Amino acid sequence: MNHSLSIEDDIDGDTLHEECGVFGILGHPDAATLTALGLHALQHRGQEAAGIVSFDGQRFHSERRMGLVGDHYTDPATLARLPGDRSIGHVRYSTTGETILRNVQPLFAELEVGGIAIAHNGNFTNGLTMRRQLIADGAICQSTSDTEVVLHLIARSKHPSSSDRFIDAIRQMEGGYSMLAMTRTKLIAARDPIGIRPLVMGELDGKPIFCSETCALDIIGAKYIRDVENGEVIICEIQPDGSITVDARKPEVSQPERLCLFEYVYFARPDSVVGGRNVYVARKNMGINLAKEAPVKADVVVPVPDGGTPAAIGYAQASGIPFELGIIRNHYVGRTFIEPTQQIRAFGVKLKHSANRAIIEGKRVVLVDDSIVRGTTSVKIVQMIRDAGAREVHIRVASPMIYHPDFYGIDTPDADKLLANQYTSLKAMCDFIGADSLEFLSIDGLYRAVGGAPRDNAQPQFTDHYFTGDYPTRLLDRESTSNVRKLSVLASNG
Amino acid sequence: MNHSLSIEDDIDGDTLHEECGVFGILGHPDAATLTALGLHALQHRGQEAAGIVSFDGQRFHSERRMGLVGDHYTDPATLARLPGDRSIGHVRYSTTGETILRNVQPLFAELEVGGIAIAHNGNFTNGLTMRRQLIADGAICQSTSDTEVVLHLIARSKHPSSSDRFIDAIRQMEGGYSMLAMTRTKLIAARDPIGIRPLVMGELDGKPIFCSETCALDIIGAKYIRDVENGEVIICEIQPDGSITVDARKPEVSQPERLCLFEYVYFARPDSVVGGRNVYVARKNMGINLAKEAPVKADVVVPVPDGGTPAAIGYAQASGIPFELGIIRNHYVGRTFIEPTQQIRAFGVKLKHSANRAIIEGKRVVLVDDSIVRGTTSVKIVQMIRDAGAREVHIRVASPMIYHPDFYGIDTPDADKLLANQYTSLKAMCDFIGADSLEFLSIDGLYRAVGGAPRDNAQPQFTDHYFTGDYPTRLLDRESTSNVRKLSVLASNG
Amino acid sequence: MNHSLSIEDDIDGDTLHEECGVFGILGHPDAATLTALGLHALQHRGQEAAGIVSFDGQRFHSERRMGLVGDHYTDPATLARLPGDRSIGHVRYSTTGETILRNVQPLFAELEVGGIAIAHNGNFTNGLTMRRQLIADGAICQSTSDTEVVLHLIARSKHPSSSDRFIDAIRQMEGGYSMLAMTRTKLIAARDPIGIRPLVMGELDGKPIFCSETCALDIIGAKYIRDVENGEVIICEIQPDGSITVDARKPEVSQPERLCLFEYVYFARPDSVVGGRNVYVARKNMGINLAKEAPVKADVVVPVPDGGTPAAIGYAQASGIPFELGIIRNHYVGRTFIEPTQQIRAFGVKLKHSANRAIIEGKRVVLVDDSIVRGTTSVKIVQMIRDAGAREVHIRVASPMIYHPDFYGIDTPDADKLLANQYTSLKAMCDFIGADSLEFLSIDGLYRAVGGAPRDNAQPQFTDHYFTGDYPTRLLDRESTSNVRKLSVLASNG
Amino acid sequence: MNHSLSIEDDIDGDTLHEECGVFGILGHPDAATLTALGLHALQHRGQEAAGIVSFDGQRFHSERRMGLVGDHYTDPATLARLPGDRSIGHVRYSTTGETILRNVQPLFAELEVGGIAIAHNGNFTNGLTMRRQLIADGAICQSTSDTEVVLHLIARSKHPSSSDRFIDAIRQMEGGYSMLAMTRTKLIAARDPIGIRPLVMGELDGKPIFCSETCALDIIGAKYIRDVENGEVIICEIQPDGSITVDARKPEVSQPERLCLFEYVYFARPDSVVGGRNVYVARKNMGINLAKEAPVKADVVVPVPDGGTPAAIGYAQASGIPFELGIIRNHYVGRTFIEPTQQIRAFGVKLKHSANRAIIEGKRVVLVDDSIVRGTTSVKIVQMIRDAGAREVHIRVASPMIYHPDFYGIDTPDADKLLANQYTSLKAMCDFIGADSLEFLSIDGLYRAVGGAPRDNAQPQFTDHYFTGDYPTRLLDRESTSNVRKLSVLASNG
């Protein structure tokens, strides 16, 4: 099944990947359908697998599948297997743990105090450390997912209440997490102490909803209430009379929020409002600031679709250079290329993008991209633009250079594969890519685009460790081992 | 299998569909791979099925499958089953004939003079008439595709040479066709007498290629040579010494070319050059002309993605109103929604599009779309934009009103379902859609955008029958019966 | 899909295969269900594919699938797609024509006079000759099945009535055929002039049924009426008042019937009555006669399961030697072995059979088998019996030696692969197989077992060409070409 | 997937089912292939699912699939995913735990001391009691299989060695089990204290093998060494020098063996040697004893295939009445009937069996069956035999009446569904079934057939609780709850 995604190595391989989106609702008669729609709106956060767990008052029901939400969760048969007025769901791109079915979330456990399902966006920096400790203590891990560690901690907690057990468990974990849990009567939402990953609260027909981004509220016409705060745990519970109580707690000592900047740069959907800021506007601002920081004489501004489009619009507006679709995207690529031959694989970027010669030929082109990771795609795109007759090709990147790996839920290549670590000068990078000029947005330019103010170096408003190396938490697994991913000795295929 | 496409009724249902794209190459060692890549580039012309036939000097090899090119034709196993240095391929969206496997092209027949495969983009206006005649004469039709009629005519022709048989057959057919045929030694390309559907000739490593659009040449780095002319038949043949001869004939009395305007409005890929004109530029011109013909005071120009984007860029440039992404497209919808529940189906356009509130709220919005067919999607999009807080919504359509069905390969709804036939005034249409104003591009504005000159009413430069009712050929099937599609009495499922 | 059958090369590969069974019923409200049950009872006649065509008064409905009847034709959804009160069905093992879906019967054609479906058990000896003639005359053959030739002849016949067209068509064909045809109002059954393949008529609730063997009547509780006679065509027609007329004709000059002896030796189900004779009794008689012709001192009679069991019972009863299950059959082999590794393939016969050591060890064993084709399985079975400790192994074969290929619907290996043609003496064959003795039933012993009388050499009561070379018809295809199977130049995979 | 088995309710539903077979091998280069072959030979012990775990010196590899061994484990790709020189495998028919993929064995856990895989034939009588205790103690159970309980006990054991942990775990379990475990260096085999389920030890090329029955040794040409004794644990370990040590222990106080009689009556393959006795011979003896205990004047002895055949041969030999195949089995039924319509389901036994009228008509028939459970199938078979014209029908059952459910791995219907509990007299049972007479083998007749001596009531040689109610162990789960199976609250589908 992984094979069907292999062309991505060439095409989307030179981007970063987020691992998940979550959605949960309590007390609504159409819980599973609304969850499916919410996950569909969050599909950009993970396309490898999707799962929903519902509870119908008597039993929990679970459906977990490889593939898109629309591939499985829209037909009546599947939804009929998810009865009940409460459910949580998850879309997944894998960072830790191969994407095999038993890793697909939500994960479920039957506890002495009743069943519990959990869904998680983010990554723990002490996941392997905790897993080792649990195994030494007789736990059996079925998945290779870090999320299962939380389930074991819940199961082993001595608290009588499931919500106290949940809090007990997450207090032992470090890293980035936006997490939902569902018990027989409760829907629980939690964000890590500095709020690296987003999580918002909404309501529909008076029933509480939690989801990764506001776009999942918009699709079902739900109202945005507020962001779950960093370090906050919100416990919604259906009472015997059918009413729903909401109990918001901050079990951890409070720290300032530091949302991940890459949510703005690349991950979140342009129409989402993350941390109170519209993502499209933030991206357009990145382009505007980029035009100011790195102007160039040119004839056309061409976005690298689709990520670069908002910044390119901003760049064009600020520079006065016309915005044109000089690269056409083939929408029929992506999930579909099965085990391509080496020969077809070699076509790489051309399977997805083609130059629009009439716009490019004889022109000085400003190519605007959202970010550069390894740079391999940039090389191919510049070549394609040159082949189409461009007179000059200037690359403008709407984010800073990436030097460091992420450990909070973004799938980054090894540090030595990053373009920024392979060349010591901008000039050398530009030569590698084959452009006439190459410029990146500054850290302050990015902070201003998102939050209006430059970086507060004493207490940064966001986390930006991939650019700066300033990790906002301890990296326990990393400190304790040099080869942390090799724990599992079962190469299970079924 | 059709079920998996049903959500399209709600989402893409309110657009027009073209039925096919074709690609063929003669004498190249990587024939099947190049054909698969070419078909991938033509995927926008048909997503329901794809087929390739190759010839290896001894035997013909055929692979025909439901689904996308990338779903089947990229893996080594499939390509290994298509050996040989010549092949033709086809992507299909069905107009006549349900899309079941035996309708998928290329079609093949074993003739007394050797095998022949054919692939066809277009539609015959005398297909059913000819089919009836053939059946009365003892022919057995296996498909419900009109293309099979041509195969029977070739099989029954008394000419000794396969190319003469082919010409003999297509001379009996009327309508729109761009057709490829492959025999043991020949690759033949033909366009109907007025050239309704496009077909271009290219070359790679000195080997001839024919395909529907230039984008299929670009993806493989092939050189564009020229358009196949209307009424022209080009016969390429491998000679015993390996050289390839090219023989171009015009068996029909010459008429002026009348390419289908909808290729420019909607079907062709923006980066293709059709009839010598870049499609993106033509579309942008439509937007520019529309801005001149139908200006409006507004704050933002928002394209209805993805079709409306080039015209919106043109409209914005000509009007000076900023271009913004006010509607975000969810790229993960489309093929994937399987048998959605009625409840999910009701979400219709929101499964694919969402309003970007930060751009819309409080604004006077100009929505630019490429065309309006039934108008049902427009109603939902306007509602979505209003829900996002737009102060005014003005729709500008970059093509004229559609009044008449097509019979040359475009799948149009019944005439009485077309918006233009349901309301007698522009005002009534605008009220139905719920916009503050609604304007369409004029016929002359469209002609000028594409070809630079207004419509020559004596001898129109293009065919525009859906706008004008001026059909460029006889409509024989339509004249002879009121219920032409009910011929087949076999409801075959397998 | 063919791969899943490949293990058969090793296991069932050393037997003969029949290609089909047919079933049809007219005027019964449960037509498709009864057809499915009838085909299930005929499953031993063909396991590769099955098809049913029904007619509901308005439209024909067709379902054709690879695999067993029970794999597809028992669920409500499939049967619901086969409405109507008349249907014909077919199970297939391929002799000519690869088993790909478009070869699966019934075949259907839409004629000027209305649709017709046909299903055929047998093989034509002039099929390729006729096919060539049709292609020269402009026919397009979609399948590689000889049955399609009949369909073309029907389509091209100038008779106004479909039954006359059918008779016209089959009169042009030579060879062995039991054939059913269904038109809008008629169910037609026909057997070739000498009646090589069986075909019986029955009735259920007063409605006519035709099927290959009586076991298909028994399963649905239908009454056996009579065998369709050699050279007979029986036309059943629903009249406007709902009554059914039956019109039996003998269009050909009458010849004596010569049923295929292998129906008794191997193909027909033991509980069927073929040509008025119970098959189990005939097989037991073969064993009795074999005991008389080829006695041996031994301790146990062991059947080679399952074909040899009835003859082994007869042999044991006639000889007084105890019948014991010395070979145990593993029922879970067969269709299921997918592309086995070479290593697993080498286990060959042991995947299906195992020796029952407690019965074999130290014993003189008489192994009774129904027939020997290539002898390769016999070698392995003898070895297996010896490995289990048998003191002596005597093979007794309940049919004569096979010297000649069949051309009437039995899939025989090339003549030079037949054991009887590889060794000139019985002794040499016995040595090859590794047995202590080897004896075959005589031709007269076989005739007596089946019909009570020895072979009438002047006018044989059965056809026995594989034993004697006395082919009962012309072999036109064989005479006209040395390499008759290579006509098709399309290696189609989809 | 369960649906595909539903026809079994009608056909095989009136028999008992065993849940599993196991196979393991240590130190052989072809470990996985040999395991697949061994499981194929054990397929009669479970057809719903099969799994293999191998270890290659570095990693464990696991393949678990629904369906037959031959459906998955014979192709090179699957076997290539199971590298290594040691593996254990399992075939499963479910008793506790629905047959869903996560219940398919072998189960695997990664322990602090390294990975361990276990495979289990049998059932625990304290499984639910232990599971509850584990959950209260924070364990997370992923499967609904009792076998997982053992895995948790191993994981939680404080012994440093995996074999001591294994022994520690199984000492806490009660019931019937033949179990294999595989660690990085060891293959461990264990049988419960009274040896209810069989387990034998063999060797191939000097490498140890354990498997449920000797037929799994025979298929690969391995040598039988001895039965694993009741209460014995045999630990085979690969030493650093590649040699293999074998350490046999009896950790429990010794009790006499009491093998399950139903292995002889029904479950084991006829060619297997169980507890030193050939199963076919035991079954034939049952028929011989039955002929002596319950003689009848009749014309033919007819087995109910396939289970009744050996006893019918014995009955015929002892009575002198001829053995004949009066019932023909359709081998193409079984796994294949998918969701049959109610109408098809009503055909029940006729889908699988048909009467051979020529043998039955006018005859006095002795029908010999291996056992009668609910009797519903017997009713249908007697009716079928009468419909075929039998003058008299006498049923002889080669085992005693079944009164009590099993708790050691045999799937029995509720006690009140058993024929023996529905009628108080043999006469009433006979009337229900519709036979002219009905007789069962006596307990002593069965004991003599299997072991040569009558039942030692003081210390029975076998366990026969289904006949006698004399359960050989405590039934802890049953004592502690009346509704033990409702523990799981997750209705998981994926």
CATH code of the domain containing C239: 3.60.20.10
Inter-chain contact D338–C68, Cβ cutoff 8 Å?
Answer: no
A275/A257 Cα distance (integer angstroms)? 10
pLDDT at B15: 67
Residues B233 and B293 in one domain: no
Q: Show Cβ contacts of residue A86 under 8 Å, excluding neighbours closer than 6 positions.
A: A24, A25, A26, A27, A28, A31, A54, A55, A182, A187, A238
The answer to whether the CB of C304 falls within 8 A of the CB of C367 is yes
* Phi, psi angle pair for A207, to nearest 5°: -105, 135
Residue D82 is assigned to a structural domain of this protein: yes
Interface test with B, best of A5, A11, A341 (most B CBs within 10 A): A341
pLDDT at B117: 97
Min Cα distance D176 → chain A (Å) is 24
Share of chain B above pLDDT 90, in %: 77
Min Cα distance A455 → chain B (Å) is 24
Please give the full DSSP string across C402-468, using - where no structure is assigned: --S---SSEE---GGGSHHHH-SSHHHHHHHHT-SEEEE--HHHHHHHHHSS---SSS-SEE-HHHH
Residue C140: closest C-alpha in chain B: B109
Residue A273: closest C-alpha in chain B: B358
Q: Which helix (H) or strand (E) holds C157?
A: none
> Which of the residue ranges A278-292, B277-291, B363-377, D3-17 would you say has the lowest mean pLDDT?
D3-17
Cα A13 to Cα A262, A348, A399, A412, C352, distances in angstroms: 17, 10, 18, 10, 49
Per-residue HEC secondary structure of chain A comes to: CHHHHHHHHCCCCCCCEECEEEEEEECCCCHHHHHHHHHHHCHHHCCCEEEEEEECCCCEEEEEEECCHHHHCCCHHHHHCCCCCEEEEEEECCCCCCCCHHHCCCEEEEECCEEEEEEEEEEECCHHHHHHHHHHCCCCCCCCCCHHHHHHHHHHCCCCCHHHHHHHHHHCCCEEEEEEEECCCEEEEEECCCCCCCCEEEEECCEEEEECCCHHHHHCCCEEEEECCCCCEEEEEECCCCCEEEEEECCCCCCCCCEEHHHHHHHCCCCCEECCEEHHHHHHHHHHHHHHHCCCCCCEEEECCCCCHHHHHHHHHHHCCCECCCEEECCCCCCCCCCCCHHHHCCHHHHCEEECHHHHCCCEEEEEECCCCCCHHHHHHHHHHHHCCCCEEEEEECCCCCCCCCCCCEECCCHHHCHHHHCCCHHHHHHHHCCCEEEECCHHHHHHHHHCCCCCCCCCCEECHHHHCCCCCCCHHHHHCCCHHHCCCEEECC
Cα C168 to Cα C22, C24, C188, C234, C472, distances in angstroms: 21, 21, 13, 14, 22
Residues C291 and C176 in one domain: no
Q: Which helix (H) or strand (E) holds B232?
A: none
Number of other residues whose CB lies within 10 A of the CB of residue A226: 11
Chain B touched by A357 (CB under 8 Å): yes
Out of A75, A215, A333, closest to residue B70 by CB: A333
pLDDT at A100: 65
Residue A363 is assigned to a structural domain of this protein: yes
Q: With contacts defined as CB-CB under 8 Å, which chain B residues touch A68?
A: 332, 336
Min Cα distance D184 → chain A (Å) is 10
Inter-chain contact B44–A332, Cβ cutoff 8 Å?
Answer: yes
Number of other residues whose CB lies within 10 A of the CB of residue D376: 18
Residues C25 and C90 in one domain: yes
Inter-chain contact B40–A359, Cβ cutoff 8 Å?
Answer: no
pLDDT at A332: 82
B321/B318 Cα distance (integer angstroms)? 8
Residues B152 and B292 in one domain: no
Q: Where in the sequence numbering do the catalytic residues of C fall?
A: 20
Mean pLDDT for all residues in chain C = 90
The answer to whether the CB of C295 falls within 8 A of the CB of C218 is no
Q: Which helix (H) or strand (E) holds C210?
A: strand C207-211
Out of A81, A135, A494, closest to residue D493 by CB: A81
- Asked about B211 being catalytic, the answer comes back as no
The mean pLDDT value for D385-403 works out to 97
Low-confidence ranges of chain A (pLDDT < 70): 1-13, 15-18, 94-101, 334-339, 481-494
Share of chain B above pLDDT 70, in %: 90
Interface test with A, best of D81, D100, D142 (most A CBs within 10 A): D142
Residues D390 and D316 in one domain: yes
**Confidence check: pLDDT of D193 > 80:** yes
D194/C456 Cα distance (integer angstroms)? 68
Min Cα distance A262 → chain B (Å) is 19
Residue A349: closest C-alpha in chain B: B219
Residues C240 and C349 in one domain: no
Residue appearing with tokens 């049913």? C52
Chain D touched by C358 (CB under 8 Å): yes
D494/D492 Cα distance (integer angstroms)? 6
Residue D486 is assigned to a structural domain of this protein: no
- At residue B339 the predicted structure's pLDDT band, cuts being 50, 70 and 90, is low
**List B20, B211, B260, B430, catalytic entry:** B20
Residues C184 and C325 in one domain: no
Mean pLDDT for all residues in chain D = 90
Chain C touched by D318 (CB under 8 Å): no
Residue C477 is assigned to a structural domain of this protein: no
Residue among C171, C167, C172, C118 at smallest CA distance from C147: C118
pLDDT at A422: 95
The answer to whether the CB of B23 falls within 8 A of the CB of B69 is no
**Confidence check: pLDDT of B11 > 50:** no
Number of other residues whose CB lies within 10 A of the CB of residue D482: 6
The mean pLDDT value for D158-162 works out to 92
**Confidence check: pLDDT of B483 > 50:** no
- At residue D71 the predicted structure's pLDDT band, cuts being 50, 70 and 90, is confident
Inter-chain contact A328–B271, Cβ cutoff 8 Å?
Answer: yes
Using DSSP, state whether D201 is helix, strand or coil.
Answer: strand
DSSP at D254: P
Residues C211 and C286 in one domain: no
A257/A196 Cα distance (integer angstroms)? 8
The mean pLDDT value for D432-461 works out to 97
Residues C170 and C123 in one domain: yes
pLDDT at A203: 98
pLDDT at D338: 62
Inter-chain contact D338–C75, Cβ cutoff 8 Å?
Answer: yes
Number of other residues whose CB lies within 10 A of the CB of residue B474: 12
Out of D70, D215, D273, closest to residue C332 by CB: D70
Chain A touched by D341 (CB under 8 Å): no
Inter-chain contact A344–B74, Cβ cutoff 8 Å?
Answer: yes
Min Cα distance C5 → chain D (Å) is 11
Number of domains in chain B: 2
Residue A312 is part of a domain; what is its CATH number?
A: 3.40.50.2020
Q: Where is the domain boundary, C258, C290, C307?
A: C258
Over chain C (494 residues), the average pLDDT of each successive run of 10 is: 34 65 97 96 92 95 90 88 97 63 85 92 94 94 85 95 95 95 97 97 97 97 97 97 95 87 96 97 98 98 95 98 96 67 77 94 98 94 96 98 94 90 96 98 98 96 97 88 46 46
D286/D317 Cα distance (integer angstroms)? 12
The answer to whether the CB of A250 falls within 8 A of the CB of A231 is yes
Neighbours of chain D (3+ CB pairs under 8 A): A, C
Q: Judge residue C251's burial from the number of C-beta atoms within 10 Å of its C-beta, 0-12 exposed, 13-18 middle, 19 or more buried.
A: middle
Inter-chain contact D358–C79, Cβ cutoff 8 Å?
Answer: no
Using DSSP, state whether D420 is helix, strand or coil.
Answer: helix
The mean pLDDT value for D119-147 works out to 91
Chain D touched by A101 (CB under 8 Å): yes
Min Cα distance A236 → chain B (Å) is 26
Inter-chain contact A344–B219, Cβ cutoff 8 Å?
Answer: no
| B and C: number of Cβ contacts within 8 A | 113
- At residue D486 the predicted structure's pLDDT band, cuts being 50, 70 and 90, is very low
Q: Which two tokens stand for residue C395?
A: 């093979």
Residue D77: closest C-alpha in chain C: C341
Inter-chain contact C218–D357, Cβ cutoff 8 Å?
Answer: yes
Interface test with D, best of C9, C10, C74, C347 (most D CBs within 10 A): C74
| A and D: number of Cβ contacts within 8 A | 113
Q: In which domain, by residue range, is A412 found?
A: 279-331+343-461
Min Cα distance B130 → chain A (Å) is 36
Radius of gyration of chain A (CA): 23
Q: Using the CB atoms, write b or e for B73-95: b if 16+ within 10 Å.
A: bbbeebbebbbbbbbbbbbbbbb
Residue D159: closest C-alpha in chain A: A138
User: Roughly how many angstroms between the first and final C-alpha of chain B, as a whole number?
Assistant: 12
Q: What is the pLDDT of residues B96-155, one digit of tens each?
A: 445 466 778 999 998 888 999 999 999 999 999 999 999 999 999 877 778 999 999 999
Residue C451 is assigned to a structural domain of this protein: yes
Mean pLDDT for all residues in chain B = 90
Inter-chain contact A328–B280, Cβ cutoff 8 Å?
Answer: yes
- At residue D15 the predicted structure's pLDDT band, cuts being 50, 70 and 90, is low
* Phi, psi angle pair for A443, to nearest 5°: -60, -45
Inter-chain contact A219–B347, Cβ cutoff 8 Å?
Answer: yes
D29/A182 Cα distance (integer angstroms)? 48
Is the N-terminal amide bond of B164 cis, ω within 30° of 0? no
Residue D469 is assigned to a structural domain of this protein: no
Inter-chain contact C344–D69, Cβ cutoff 8 Å?
Answer: no
Out of D344, D350, D351, closest to residue C33 by CB: D344
Residues B394 and B442 in one domain: yes
Interface test with C, best of B111, B134, B140 (most C CBs within 10 A): B140
**Confidence check: pLDDT of D98 > 60:** no
C192/C202 Cα distance (integer angstroms)? 19
Q: Judge residue A132's burial from the number of C-beta atoms within 10 Å of its C-beta, 0-12 exposed, 13-18 middle, 19 or more buried.
A: middle
B83/B106 Cα distance (integer angstroms)? 16
Out of A72, A76, A270, closest to residue B328 by CB: A270
Residue D8 is assigned to a structural domain of this protein: no
pLDDT at A458: 95
Residues D316 and D422 in one domain: yes
Residue among B177, B192, B173 at smallest CA distance from B133: B173
Residues C222 and C324 in one domain: no
Neighbours of chain C (3+ CB pairs under 8 A): B, D
Q: What is the pLDDT of residues B17-55, one digit of tens each?
A: 667 999 999 999 999 999 999 999 999 999 889 999 999
Chain D touched by C30 (CB under 8 Å): yes
Q: Show Cβ contacts of residue A240 under 8 Å, excluding neighbours closer than 6 positions.
A: none
Residue C481 is assigned to a structural domain of this protein: no
pLDDT at C336: 56
Q: Show Cβ contacts of residue B4 under 8 Å, excluding neighbours closer than 6 positions.
A: B335, B336, B337, B338, B339
D145/D107 Cα distance (integer angstroms)? 10
Q: Show Cβ contacts of residue A243 under 8 Å, excluding neighbours closer than 6 positions.
A: none
